[in-house]
Amino acid sequence: MPRRADAPPKTYTACALIIGNEILSGRVQDENVAFLAKGLNEAGIRLREVRVIPDDTDAIVATVNEVRRKFDYVFTTGGIGPTHDDITAECIAEAFAVKLILHPEAKRLLEGHYPPGAVNEARMRMAHMPEGATLLPNPISRAPGFRIDNVYVLAGVPQIMQATFRELSHNLKGGAKMLSRSVSCGLGEGVLAKGLAELQARYNDLDIGSYPYFRRADFGVTLVVRGTDRDRLLTATDEVRMLIRTLGGDPQDGASED
Amino acid sequence: MPRRADAPPKTYTACALIIGNEILSGRVQDENVAFLAKGLNEAGIRLREVRVIPDDTDAIVATVNEVRRKFDYVFTTGGIGPTHDDITAECIAEAFAVKLILHPEAKRLLEGHYPPGAVNEARMRMAHMPEGATLLPNPISRAPGFRIDNVYVLAGVPQIMQATFRELSHNLKGGAKMLSRSVSCGLGEGVLAKGLAELQARYNDLDIGSYPYFRRADFGVTLVVRGTDRDRLLTATDEVRMLIRTLGGDPQDGASED
């Protein structure tokens, strides 16, 4: 059945899978989620869920198979290097029930990057991909990521992940970008809550979030209004500022995304 | 059947649920995962999975019900303030199929914290808990977290979450603490991979991870050895240092956890 002309446009969704014991042990602070969230929004795609899972075959295979069916896109980070704990490629092959093969183009890229003879067996592991995967460029250290169906497999090292994502993001199909405005003030959340709930009810096409902060002696709340319609967003943000003034606060504009 | 005397000791596992649109939009960088990972390890509990999910009833209820059965402990952060987007308590009640009730002790705490008359309807929302929940102290702004069964519901504001966790962590039942040693060097991962895989095979009670880094002109790899037996850990770490020297590198000791 054709979509009715007044049906809402499709919302494209994504899940990020952060694969790595180092995040779960607290040794490393993840930097990839915030980057992916912003980059996906630029492409009109909403990051709807993030999972951080260990370097464990069962966990990776089960999670990939669950989330690739639930979301339009899945982006994994981590586990595609040359060492024994890099098992993402073989897990993705297992999840898709395809063979892990030596990809000729990936092999060529690695052989062009390293000095003659330096592409040992371990490094050649990085040229192994699930059958049917297409390569994703790595402008930094050449060993490519790959895509199979709606799953994009990226490096864990932030610089490489970001460079690869920047190149692939032009080809992602998305919908309307989420725009946002933020306004902060020194009022307590409890003082604002009733008026905010009323505003949220009237602007139910927008998402109004309330985030308290504590910085040294300073405390207050940042109110964030998000939505795809700029006019509605600006009108609602004006109402947020008015609400703050009515309650005796001093609204301070913060970050906005256009 | 009684556990055999030589059975390995139980490993206690945990999942962290980070509830909040602000992390998924990339506006805020999560700080709670790394803190929880380290704090849980101190208590002999392994953080095995993290999920970041939106302020959405269906997502929260379904996720809580899935993970509370899969892990020994679940820790949620976010969504227990006074505003309309704070829906964690009612979602937890729904997940456990119990009523959301006004908790008398939580009510008393709030009334003692705010000036007379300031505990309005919105703030009183923070005294509503799933029936059967026990309070978790909040030494900063009083509005308590709570525990129901194996689910610990904490604030999203890092200072409050951390203060509450510190107080409750003494009562968590855990097993052996995961110890770790790290050694860095300027060698490439591909050079180390074969030797590391051999080491990992010989020390299969330990977990050896390899993490490349790129910092300005400097690059190299950090090797992390983790396990619960200190003697084995130290012996394996010595072997890692030897491997690095054998391959022409200069091992630099990094962070350790005892």
pLDDT over threshold 90, residue A117: no
Q: Give the strands of the sheet with A73-77, arranged side by side.
A: A134-136, A145-148, A151-154, A73-77, A12-19, A45-53, B45-53, B12-19, B73-77, B151-154, B145-148, B134-136
Give the Cα separation of A86 and A135 in Å (integer): 17
pLDDT over threshold 90, residue A5: no
- Is there a domain that residue B7 lies in? no
Is there a single domain that holds both residue A87 and residue A167? yes
- Is there a domain that residue A24 lies in? yes
Mark yes or no for CB contact B50/A82 under 8 Å: no
Claim: this prediction has a pTM higher than 0.90: yes
pLDDT band at residue A7 using 50, 70 and 90 as cut-offs: confident
For position B217, what pLDDT does the model report?
73
- Is there a domain that residue B81 lies in? yes
Angle, alpha carbons B170-B129-B105 (nearest 5°): 70
pLDDT, mean of residues A64-77: 98
Is there a single domain that holds both residue B52 and residue B106? yes
Nearest-by-Cβ selection for A21 from B83, B159, B209: B209
Looking at the structure of chain B, the number of domains it has is 2
**CATH code, B220:** 3.30.70.260
**CATH code, A30:** 3.40.980.10
Give the Cα separation of B147 and B13 in Å (integer): 17
Nearest-by-Cβ selection for B193 from A26, A122, A189: A122
Chain B environment of A211 (Cβ under 8 Å):
22, 28
Q: Between helices B32-42 and B158-168, what is the axis angle to 10°?
A: 10
Q: Which residue has the tokens 């091992």?
A: B251
Tokens standing for B127?
């005294």
pLDDT over threshold 90, residue A65: yes
pLDDT over threshold 80, residue B5: no
For position A2, what pLDDT does the model report?
56
For position A257, what pLDDT does the model report?
85
List, in order, residues 6 or more apart from B128 with CB less than 8 Å away: B89, B90, B100, B101, B102, B103, B106
Among chain A residues, the shortest Cα distance to B63 is held by A49
Provide the number of CB pairs (under 8 Å) joining chain A to chain B.
194
Among chain A residues, the shortest Cα distance to B212 is held by A157
For position A180, what pLDDT does the model report?
96
Instruction: Give me the percent of chain A exceeding a pLDDT of 90.
Output: 86
Average pLDDT, chain A: 94
pLDDT, mean of residues B132-150: 93
Chain A environment of B32 (Cβ under 8 Å):
none
Give the Cα separation of B248 and A98 in Å (integer): 39
pLDDT band at residue A143 using 50, 70 and 90 as cut-offs: confident
pLDDT over threshold 70, residue B50: yes
pLDDT, mean of residues B190-212: 96
Domain-ending residue, one of A171, A188, A211: A171
Tokens standing for B4?
């055999």
pLDDT over threshold 90, residue A186: yes
**CA distance, residue B189 to nearest chain A CA (Å):** 7
pLDDT over threshold 80, residue B132: yes
Average pLDDT, chain B: 94
For position B161, what pLDDT does the model report?
96
**CA distance, residue B67 to nearest chain A CA (Å):** 12
Is there a single domain that holds both residue A94 and residue A158? yes
pLDDT, mean of residues A126-145: 93
Is there a single domain that holds both residue B41 and residue B163? yes
Domain-ending residue, one of B147, B171, B195: B171
Mark yes or no for CB contact B214/A140 under 8 Å: yes
pLDDT, mean of residues A232-249: 97
Q: Which domain holds residue B52?
A: 12-171
Is there a single domain that holds both residue B94 and residue B17? yes
pLDDT band at residue A35 using 50, 70 and 90 as cut-offs: very high
Mark yes or no for CB contact B208/A38 under 8 Å: no
Is there a single domain that holds both residue A63 and residue A111? yes
Is there a single domain that holds both residue A16 and residue A118? yes
For position B252, what pLDDT does the model report?
96
Nearest-by-Cβ selection for B224 from A18, A27, A29: A27
Domain-ending residue, one of B139, B171, B203: B171
Is there a single domain that holds both residue A160 and residue A54? yes
Q: What is the dihedral of CA A157, A162, A167, A170, to 10 degrees?
A: 140
- Is there a domain that residue B219 lies in? yes
pLDDT band at residue B8 using 50, 70 and 90 as cut-offs: confident
- Is there a domain that residue B6 lies in? no
Mark yes or no for CB contact A48/B26 under 8 Å: no
- The model's pLDDT over B75-124, given as tens digits with 9 standing for 90+, comes to 999 999 999 999 999 999 999 999 999 999 999 999 998 888 888 999 99
Chain B environment of A189 (Cβ under 8 Å):
81-83, 122
pLDDT band at residue A4 using 50, 70 and 90 as cut-offs: low
Mark yes or no for CB contact B41/A48 under 8 Å: no
pLDDT over threshold 60, residue B139: yes
For position A116, what pLDDT does the model report?
87
First CA to last CA distance, chain B: 34
**CA distance, residue A81 to nearest chain B CA (Å):** 8
Mark yes or no for CB contact A200/B84 under 8 Å: yes
Is there a single domain that holds both residue A94 and residue A113? yes
Nearest-by-Cβ selection for A25 from B41, B123, B193: B41
Among chain B residues, the shortest Cα distance to A45 is held by B25
CB B130 within 8 A of CB B96: yes
For position B203, what pLDDT does the model report?
97
For position B33, what pLDDT does the model report?
96
- Is there a domain that residue A7 lies in? no
Is there a single domain that holds both residue B165 and residue B64? yes
Among chain A residues, the shortest Cα distance to B78 is held by A211
**Residues shown for chain B:** 258
Is there a single domain that holds both residue B223 and residue B140? no
Nearest C-alpha neighbor of A251 from the set A230, A221, A216, A211 = A221
